[in-house]
């Protein structure tokens, strides 16, 4: 597949918020998030750690050679086997203008229903759409790149669902305690232990997915993929640089988003297939790109 000229080129401004006299758009956020992604790529290459852009970020590779114009985040996966080395590399090599949050370095971090880590930028502030678990880490709420582990998955759907059910039973209690400001550390440790154990047990499986700590990922309608389609990661063009993503990127995107997710040729140009009413940022409520707190609007 060639990506050098077959992408959609048009962009629009999608406004997120206004701070005093400044209008902040999705593109403003994307350019800042890109500095975090550049740092993650640098560290992973230096330390020989496998990573790949996933989800909407991978879709942006194919359709735009970069961000989807209304996409307000970057999603990255790191393999389970590389996870501890990745944390060590961040502790050793992460630049001074960045920081990261995960359960391994802050027991207040949430271990379910979300990314396994956030790599953030200092002196910025973001307020996310969040229905379950807010960020409890005291280190800050800077703009971020989401990092999620990609795990081995049991090929037997029934066994896989049984394991996910264990997390589903623990999840409501973690949410309840967190929302009354009690940190359920022991339950979080159990989730981490159980997820690790599950991944090790099925390390020879042909399948791979997000960890069972994201318990609603299932075979029938959620992203579970053949390892041979994910690995080895390949380099692709993204915003004028090269980042890694899936080995068989178009096949995985069609499995995840459906057969019509990729660009279409209308006889004159490549066009976006997503309906206009769905083209909007979905994760961000508020931004401050010049400070670590919320400021007065307008």
Q: What is the pLDDT of residue 22?
A: 80
Residue 270 domain-assigned (yes or no): yes
Could you give the 3-state DSSP secondary structure of residue 60? Answer: helix
Neighbouring CB atoms inside 10 A of 146's CB total 19
- C-alpha span between 116 and 98 (Å, rounded): 17
Residue 67: partners with Cβ closer than 8 Å, 6 or more residues away: 30, 57, 60, 74, 239
- C-alpha span between 84 and 284 (Å, rounded): 29
Residue 163 domain-assigned (yes or no): no
15 DSSP assignment: E
Domain count, the chain: 1
Which residues are registered as beta bridge partners of 147? Answer: 76, 117
Maximal C-alpha separation, the chain? 59
Structural domain that includes position 257: 15-151+225-288
Residue 162 domain-assigned (yes or no): no
Residue 197 domain-assigned (yes or no): no
Residue 62 domain-assigned (yes or no): yes
Q: Are 109 and 179 in contact (CB under 8 A)?
A: no
Q: What is the mean pLDDT of each run of 10 residues along the chain (298 residues)?
A: 52 78 88 97 98 96 94 95 97 97 94 88 91 86 96 93 92 92 95 94 94 71 86 97 97 92 82 85 88 73
Residue 204 domain-assigned (yes or no): no
188-215 burial by CB neighbour count: b if 16+ within 10 A, else e?
bebbbebbbebbeebeebebbbbbbbbb
Could you give the 3-state DSSP secondary structure of residue 144? Answer: strand
Domain with residue 275: its CATH number is 3.30.460
Q: What is the pLDDT of residue 1?
A: 37
């Amino acid at each position: 597949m060639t990506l050098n000229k077959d992408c959609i080129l048009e962009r629009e401004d999608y406004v997120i918020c206004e701070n005093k006299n400044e209008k902040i758009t999705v593109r403003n956020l994307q350019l800042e998030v890109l500095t975090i992604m550049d740092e993650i790529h640098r560290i992973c290459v230096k330390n020989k750690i496998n990573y790949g852009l996933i989800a909407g970020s991978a879709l942006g590779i194919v359709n735009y050679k970069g961000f989807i114009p209304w996409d307000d985040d970057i999603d990255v996966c790191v393999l389970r086997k590389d996870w501890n080395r990745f944390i060590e590399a961040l502790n050793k090599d992460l630049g001074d203008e960045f920081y990261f949050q995960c359960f391994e370095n802050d027991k207040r971090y949430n271990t379910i229903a979300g990314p396994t880590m956030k790599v953030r930028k200092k002196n910025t502030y973001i307020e996310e759409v969040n229905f379950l678990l807010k960020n409890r880490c005291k280190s800050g709420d800077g703009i971020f790149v989401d990092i999620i582990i990609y795990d081995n998955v049991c090929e037997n759907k029934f066994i896989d669902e049984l394991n996910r059910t264990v997390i589903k039973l623990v999840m409501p209690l973690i949410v309840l305690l967190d929302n009354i400001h009690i940190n359920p550390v022991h339950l979080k440790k159990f989730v981490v232990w159980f997820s690790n154990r599950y991944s090790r047990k099925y390390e020879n499986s042909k399948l791979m997915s997000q960890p069972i700590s994201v318990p609603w990922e299932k075979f029938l309608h959620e992203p579970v993929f053949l390892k041979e389609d994910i690995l080895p990661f390949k380099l692709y063009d993204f915003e004028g640089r090269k980042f890694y993503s899936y080995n068989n990127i178009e096949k995985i995107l069609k499995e995840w988003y459906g057969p019509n997710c990729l660009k279409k040729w209308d006889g004159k140009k490549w066009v976006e297939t997503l309906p206009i009413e769905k083209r909007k940022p979905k994760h961000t409520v508020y931004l401050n790109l010049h400070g670590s707190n919320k400021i007065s609007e307008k």
